Amino acid sequence: MKAVVLGSGGWGTALSQILCDNGHETYLWSHNPAKAAEMVRTRENPLLKGVYLSEALRITGDLDCLKGADLVVSAPPSFAVRETAKKMAPYLTEKSVVVSVSKGIERDTNLRLSQVIGEETGNLCPVVALSGPSHAEEVGIRMPTGCVAACRDADAARFAQDAFMNDYFRVYTSGDIVGVELAGALKNVIALSCGVCDGLGYQDNTKALLMTRAMAEITRLGEKLGGSRQTFGGLAGMGDLIVTCTSMHSRNRRAGILIGQGKTPQEAMKEVGAVVEGYFAALSIHQLSQRAGVEMPISRCAYEVLYEGKQVKNVVTELMTRAKKDELLETVRP
Ligand SMILES: NC(=O)c1ccc[n+]([C@@H]2O[C@H](COP(=O)([O-])OP(=O)(O)OC[C@H]3O[C@@H](n4cnc5c(N)ncnc54)[C@H](O)[C@@H]3O)[C@@H](O)[C@H]2O)c1
Ligand SMILES: O=P(O)(O)OC[C@H](O)CO
């Protein structure tokens, strides 16, 4: 099989290495030809330090590598998914399968990323969402990892499962692409918020409280928008929430730590030096939850800190002193 990965950040690079390990003819495309040339020379990506890229992996800045591709992986930051889909569109056929691995919601349209790709490719071929607890740094060194390949087209989901699965990368299929994509985008804001707790010096009780109540609000919005409740308890939901809220690999969490320590969001993102999707998602989620009439106190507070300059200390007090509620019934005590 011929596979092409578009987007040479840490994640696109780690996934291209999996496809290569699985014996597929694999291309890794960078939108920056100079960066592609440097990776060819060093066999390393500065965004995935310490991972040697095998000689069989073809690294290029030439889009013509898409000619005859069976599998196309869309792996840019979410803000560049539409322009990347535009670039792949002329090369796709009805037999192609696109796998979307970015985690976010498109700004302004609030579309899921598979919907954005579908729009730009005229829904010519199926788009599978691959998501789960999977830091590129660990996949790159072949640590056992699990993800979900979700698509309404079960054959396409199985095609992606077959392409990626091996003895260190386990892939489950799912028909709930809505839930899988939303879970991946929503958890980034919570990972950032968890980092803020760390930055403020709060410890394990606080983070367990935050993660558990975040699951409740993420699931509430996800279900309202058509996702399945079970998905939010699975790898793309709970699994990814755990890994991003607890790992120092997480760019969202690291940005949050810096904000908790007093940096502005812009300073924090600059210092992290890689894409912090939670910053962008906070805005879309705020709009989506307002439109759907779903209460999301943690995500709303993150939005207020990131976009309205609210002080993090005030936000914590506000969250802790909200009206008294029943945990299961979600009702407020009069
Ligand atoms: N890093 C991970 O562990 C991981 C895991 C799962 C999912 N993801 C998701 O994958 C997506 C990409 O993240 P990443 O970690 O690989 O990013 P990264 O921060 O490592 O790198 C971003 C990459 O995007 C490239 N880029 C910038 N503008 C572009 C454009 N207009 N067109 C194409 N490429 C462009 C940059 O050159 C860079 O290579 C994000 O949505 C992220 O949430 C990341
Ligand atoms: O580094 P983060 O916070 O963007 O998280 C990366 C992945 O989503 C982890 O599954």
Domain ranges across the chain: 2-175, 179-320
Instruction: Tell me how far apart the alpha carbons of residues 197 and 203 are, in angstroms, rounded to a whole number.
Output: 7
Q: Ligand 1: which residue has its CA nearest to atom 44?
A: 11
Helical packing angle, 154-164 and 10-21, nearest 10°? 80
Residue 329's pLDDT is what?
83
Ligand index nearest the alpha carbon of residue 9: 1
CATH code reported for the domain at 2-175? 3.40.50.720
Please check whether residue 10 is in contact with residue 274, taking contact to mean a CB–CB distance below 8 angstroms: yes
- Our mutation pick for probing the ligand 1 site, out of 73, 244, 275, 280, counting the most ligand atoms within 8 A of Cβ, is 275
CA 112–ligand 1 middle distance (angstroms): 16
pLDDT single digits (tens) 182-221: 999 999 999 999 999 999 999 999 999 999 999 999 999 9
Tokens of 65: 């590598």
The tens digit of pLDDT for each residue in 68-125 reads 999 999 999 999 999 999 999 999 999 999 999 999 999 999 999 999 999 999 999 9
Q: How far is the CA of 75 from the centre of ligand 1 (A)?
A: 6
Give CATH superfamily name and number for 179-320: N-(1-d-carboxylethyl)-l-norvaline Dehydrogenase; domain 2 (1.10.1040.10)
Q: Using pLDDT thresholds of 50, 70 and 90, give the confidence band for residue 333.
A: confident
pLDDT of residue 117: 98
Polymer length in residues for the chain: 334
The pair of structure tokens assigned to 64 is 């013509």
pLDDT at residue 306, as a whole number: 98
Q: Answer whether residue 334 shows pLDDT above 90.
A: no
The phi-psi region of residue 229 (left if phi > 0; otherwise alpha if psi is between -120 and 50; otherwise beta) is alpha
Mutate which of 180, 193, 198, 240 for ligand 2? The one with the most ligand atoms within 8 Å of its CB, which is 240
CA of 44 to the centre of ligand 2 (A): 20
d(CA 14, CA 10): 6
HSE at residue 283, side-chain half, CA atoms within 13 A, is 14
Q: By C-alpha distance, which of 239, 189, 200, 274 is closest to 11?
A: 274
Q: Which of 94, 149, 93, 89 is nearest to 119 (CA)?
A: 89
Contact between 13 and 80 (Cβ < 8 Å): no
Residue nearest to ligand 2 atom 2, measured at CA: 250
CA distance 329 to 326: 5
Q: What is the DSSP string of 74-119?
A: E-S-GGGHHHHHHHHGGG--TT-EEEE----B-TTT--BHHHHHHH
> Residue 95 in contact with residue 71, Cβ under 8 Å?
no
Residue 103 labeled ligand binder: yes
- Residue 116 identity: V
Task: List the 97-100 sheet strands across, edge first.
Answer: 58-60, 25-29, 2-6, 71-74, 97-100, 127-131, 145-150, 169-174
275 is in an annotated binding site: yes
- DSSP letter, residue 331: P
Mean pLDDT, rounded, for 144-154: 98
Active site residue 325: no
Which listed ligand is nearest to 276 at the C-alpha?
Answer: 2
- Pick the catalytic residue: 187, 224, 270, 310? 187
**What proportion of the chain, given as a percentage, has pLDDT over 70?**
100
List, chain by chain if needed, residues with CB within 6 Å of any ligand 1 atom.
7-12, 31-32, 47, 75-78, 80, 83-84, 101-104, 134-136, 274-275, 277
**pLDDT the model gives residue 332:** 83
Is 31 annotated among the ligand-binding residues?
yes
Q: Is 11 annotated as a binding residue?
A: yes
61 appears as a binding residue in the annotation: no
For 227-236, write each residue's pLDDT tens digit: 999 999 999 9
Q: What is the ipTM of this complex?
A: 0.98
Tens of pLDDT, residue by residue over 3-18, are 999 999 999 999 999 9
Query: Does the Cβ of 135 fall within 6 Å of ligand 2?
Result: yes
Q: For residue 13, report the distance from its CA to the centre of ligand 1, in Å.
A: 9
Q: Tell the residue nearest (CA) to atom 12 of ligand 1.
A: 77
The strand pairing partners of 237, in sequence order, are: none
Q: Which residue has its alpha carbon closest to ligand 2 atom 4?
A: 251
Confidence check: pLDDT of 323 > 90: yes
Q: Is 84 in the pocket of ligand 2 (CB under 6 A)?
A: no
